[in-house]
Amino acid sequence: MELTNTRRFPRYHMHTPVFIAAPGAVDGVIPGMVSRLSRAGMEIYAGVNLQPGERMEVEFRAPGRTIRVAGIIRNRSGFCFGLEICAMKIEVETVPVYS
């Protein structure tokens, strides 16, 4: 039997550390891991107590840049979440130039 992919966008396997915005956490964030990513959503593992239908904010950090993604949790199994992306914001740090 051949399985047919019926998803709108292809999923890409990856293992990237992220930070989940969580009120009350140390530094306001909890570490997590993205294992699959597509144009419309992601599979993420994180130790947060959120339920399907709630909003989750995820930060991807790189030197000089932070990408914030907000989404709605569509499903949950333990600490694995299916997140549908609804907004994205890219912040670029400005580095002072010395002459």
90 Cβ contact list (under 8 Å, min separation 6): 65, 66, 67, 68
Mean pLDDT of 11-30: 86
Mean pLDDT of 24-51: 90
Cβ count near 6 (within 10 Å)? 5
What's the confidence (pLDDT) of residue 22?
78
20 vs 47: CA distance, rounded Å: 9
What's the confidence (pLDDT) of residue 11?
87
| 96 has pLDDT over 70 | no
25-58 exposure pattern, b = at least 16 Cβ within 10 A, e = fewer: eeeebbebebeebeeebbbbebebeeeeeeebbb
| 63 has pLDDT over 90 | no
| 92 has pLDDT over 90 | no
| 53 has pLDDT over 90 | yes
Per the document, the length of the chain is: 99
Whether the model clears a pTM of 0.85, i.e. scores above it, the answer is: no
| 38 has pLDDT over 70 | yes
pLDDT single digits (tens) 67-78: 889 999 999 999
User: Which has the closest alpha carbon to 44: 10, 18, 9?
Assistant: 18
